[in-house]
């Protein structure tokens, strides 16, 4: 609680006078009245009550006479000044200054594009509202220097990438949320989609943070989210670990990365019509269906085999003779832009990687083309953090 403002008082002018000298009717000198030291004989105390001696009464009378003389001298001085200078300067009024005590710690201004989370109960509803959109959550702490340095950049990024949701959580105000997400340092940035944590970035490097955001917004369903994806499922493109992906017999000019983007580029085989694609996920997922789009000129994929969670990479010969998790013969409608290829959901419940063997295409062409490729499903650990219960310790304790 801020201290109440203390007033500053300035004294009146002029002070009372006790001795003055006059010459030819004019005031020549004056001595201010000063407090006289109290005489030890002024009063004695008995049973807590003062008893004045005759000396103290005499002293009091003398002091009263001195004050009267001082008032008379002051009146004469004012009269002289009035006659000689035309006016008597009145005593200056007392001036009172109100000095506001500063607050204990200034609160930062609310950022335009960033939602500030006030308490633990607000966090999960905000993630739910973000849905399949990318949610970038900054965990900060008041008084943290790096947090203050990156705050303007974080605000600017929220305005630059409106297709994502930006949240800010103070680890002191939301201790439960910080503990659930294992926050050990600030600033820490967590990335969520469908309430599932998909990545993390730590530190006050604005350039590195923006690169992370751009990486996760690449091919983001966002505002262009497919309406044919069933409720409760999502495009798993953000969970694909590109560093763990591999494609055998890809063309040097038209590589695998091209089919992960919705643009005019494409993946094309090199020596013949076959492709052997391995897709790794950043965390275990459940696969509901897939999209495997191709052109209608005969180069689109037709016969495919799907394998999951292989301990090592396979070659074409092994793929030909091995029993797949599911084998499919695709129709021309399956590989259109709005086509969805259904998978046997019960066989794809805990998937870390998928190997796709494309055996042939529709027109027996020399090469096969894939214009876009993704999976639809859910992460295995789509957990509501509010379901976690503390089993040891108290709220706010470190673990």
Residue numbers annotated as active site: 144, 147
Q: How does DSSP assign 177-239, residue by residue?
A: HHHHTT--SSSEEEEEETTEEEEEEESS-HHHHHHHHHHHHTT--GGG--TTSPTT-EE-GGG
- For residues 115 and 166, is the Cβ–Cβ distance under 8 A? yes
Whole-angstrom Cα distance, residue 6 to residue 9?
Answer: 10
DSSP at 127 = H
Q: What is the sign, positive or negative, of the torsion defined by CA atoms of 141, 146, 151, 156?
A: negative
**Quick one: which of 305, 294, 279, 282 has its CA closest to 381?**
282
Q: Which residues contact 161 (CB under 8 A, 6 or more apart)?
A: 213, 217
Angle separating helix axes 206-217 and 145-160, nearest 10 degrees: 40
Q: Where are the beta strands (DSSP E) in 246-350?
A: 246-248, 267-268, 275-293, 303-308, 326-329, 341-342
Strand 165-170 to strand 115-117: parallel, antiparallel, or no bridges (unpaired)?
A: parallel
């Amino acid at each position: 609680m801020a201290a109440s403002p203390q007033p500053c008082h300035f004294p009146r002018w002029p002070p009372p006078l006790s001795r003055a000298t006059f010459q030819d009717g004019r005031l020549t000198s004056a001595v201010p009245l000063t407090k006289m030291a109290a005489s030890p004989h002024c009063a004695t105390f008995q049973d807590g009550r003062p008893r004045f001696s005759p000396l103290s009464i005499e002293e009091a009378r003398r002091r009263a006479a001195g004050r009267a003389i001082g008032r008379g001298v002051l009146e004469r001085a004012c009269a002289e000044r009035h006659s000689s200078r035309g006016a008597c300067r009145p005593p200056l009024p007392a001036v009172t200054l109100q000095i506001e005590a500063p607050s204990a710690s200034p609160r930062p201004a609310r950022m335009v594009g960033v939602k500030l989370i006030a308490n633990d109960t607000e966090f999960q509803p905000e993630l739910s509202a973000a849905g399949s959109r990318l949610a970038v959550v900054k965990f900060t702490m008041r008084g943290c220097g790096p947090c203050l340095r990156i705050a303007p950049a974080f605000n600017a990024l929220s305005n630059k990438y409106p297709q994502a949701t930006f949240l800010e959580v103070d680890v002191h105000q939301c201790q439960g949320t910080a503990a659930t997400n294992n926050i050990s340092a600030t600033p820490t940035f967590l990335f969520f989609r469908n309430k599932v944590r998909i990545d993390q970035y730590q530190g006050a490097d604005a350039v590195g943070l923006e690169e992370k955001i751009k990486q996760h917004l690449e091919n983001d369903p966002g505002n262009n989210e497919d309406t044919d994806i069933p409720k409760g499922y999502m495009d798993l493109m953000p969970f694909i670990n590109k560093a763990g992906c591999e494609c055998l017999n890809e063309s040097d000019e038209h590589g695998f990365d091209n089919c992960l983007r919705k643009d005019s580029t494409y993946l094309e085989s090199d020596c013949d019509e076959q492709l052997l694609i391995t897709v790794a996920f950043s965390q275990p997922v459940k696969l509901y269906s897939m999209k495997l789009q191709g052109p209608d000129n005969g180069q689109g994929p037709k016969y495919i085999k799907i394998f999951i969670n292989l301990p090592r990479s396979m070659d074409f010969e092994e793929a030909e003779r091995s029993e797949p998790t599911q084998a499919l013969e695709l129709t021309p409608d399956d590989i259109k832009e709005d086509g969805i290829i259904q998978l046997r959901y019960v066989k794809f419940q805990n998937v870390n990687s998928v190997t796709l063997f494309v055996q042939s295409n529709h027109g027996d062409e020399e090469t096969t083309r894939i214009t876009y490729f993704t999976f639809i499903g859910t992460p295995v650990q789509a957990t509501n953090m509010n379901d976690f219960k503390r089993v040891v310790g108290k709220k706010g304790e470190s673990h």
